[in-house]
Amino acid sequence: MMKTQDFYYHLPEELIAQDPLEDRSSSRLMVLNKETGKIEHHIFKEIIEYLKEGDCLVINDTKVIPARLIGEKEGTGAKIELLLLKRKQDDVWETLVKPGKKAKPGTRIMFGNGLLVGEIIDIVEEGNRLIKFYYEGIFEEVLDQLGQMPLPPYITHQLEDKNRYQTVYAKHAGSAAAPTAGLHFTPELLKAIEQKGIKLARVTLHVGLGTFRPVKVEDVTNHHMHSEFYMITEEAARIINETKEKGGRVISVGTTSTRTLESVADERGYVKETSGWTEIFIYPGYQFKCVDALITNFHLPESTLLMLVSALAGKEHIMAAYEEAVKEKYRFFSFGDAMFLM
């Protein structure tokens, strides 16, 4: 049995990055050879030295929506906090509501003095609420005005600039969390990478909060992933498949890009233009079909993301690398440093 506790490591709290760095690409980069376990220490912008002409970088161009809303219950004025998880129909969203006890069907919640009104219409799995919104104008614009970035619970500092929890190539709105491996790239670095003959393939996976859900079962294989929506364009599929054909490496930026590619790849590792929902859960023993290398951040103990990177580079290599990262005082999690598994 593969136990969840096998993926535990001790992390001193002060190593959890609370704020983004001034220069995105100046974070640290640990390079791990997934075959030998050899570790090298670099600055993120030096990743270009490890990328070869003919490789392709697969980036997730999802955009985080300011999904955290704080409002008042109509009638009592009690404070209610919402997190938008998934758009079900135009104005109906699946949400996480705190405190949940007060949020019964029929309850109306006012945001921004009534600029936005939400009515709870149903209770669904895990106690999430379906809410129908009423407003004037364009929902995204109202949300932009009233919503806050849904930072993970381990980040306690206020974010000064909303865009810092957004990749520079974010395009399609729909995520409840950022694909954080992409936060290290600047427009200048991406340009330099393309000039070196490395192609960029853009895919989309809207990150749900299920990504951060702790694994609560003892046996890893019993954990159930939430489904997340993905999209691969014809152009992205062509770039990835041509890279494969010519013997280049498909380098995934982030676990979200990885899960998208592995959800759709055929046995030869080829992908096609498609969209859909994935619940893929990658843990050691999984055979990768499409992804050759991965750029990623440092993940929470006992998380599905730590299991995914262990599947790619081997659990022993990963746990040793994390021990080294703690010893070298790397910064961890969303605003933290990066790792290149090659």
Instruction: Count other Cβ atoms within 10 Å, centred on residue 242.
Output: 14
**120-170: per-residue pLDDT in tens?**
999 998 888 999 999 999 998 999 999 998 888 888 888 888 889 999 999
> Under DSSP, is residue 314 helix (H, G, I), strand (E, B) or coil?
coil
Which secondary structure element, helix H or strand E, spans residue 83, and what is its range? Answer: strand 79-89
Determine the Cα–Cα distance for residues 43 and 56; give it in Å rounded to an integer.
21
Q: Report CA 27 to chain centroid distance, whole Å.
A: 18
Query: What angle, 0 to 180 degrees and rounded to 10, lies between the N-to-C axes of helices 304-313 and 315-327?
Result: 110
Neighbour count for residue 320 (Cβ, 10 Å): 14
- Gap between the Cα atoms of 143 and 266, Å rounded: 39
Is residue 68 within 8 Å of 150, Cβ to Cβ? yes
Per residue in 93-129, pLDDT (tens digit) is 999 898 887 788 999 999 999 999 999 999 998 888 9
Residue 182: the pLDDT is: 97
pLDDT digits (tens, 9 = 90+) for 58-93: 999 999 999 999 999 998 999 999 999 888 888 999
- pTM attached to this predicted model: 0.91
Whether 263 contacts 200, CB under 8 Å: no
- Position 329: which residue type? K
Spatial separation of the C-alpha atoms in residues 257 and 203, rounded to whole Å: 7
Query: Does residue 290 contact residue 271 with C-beta atoms inside 8 Å?
Result: yes
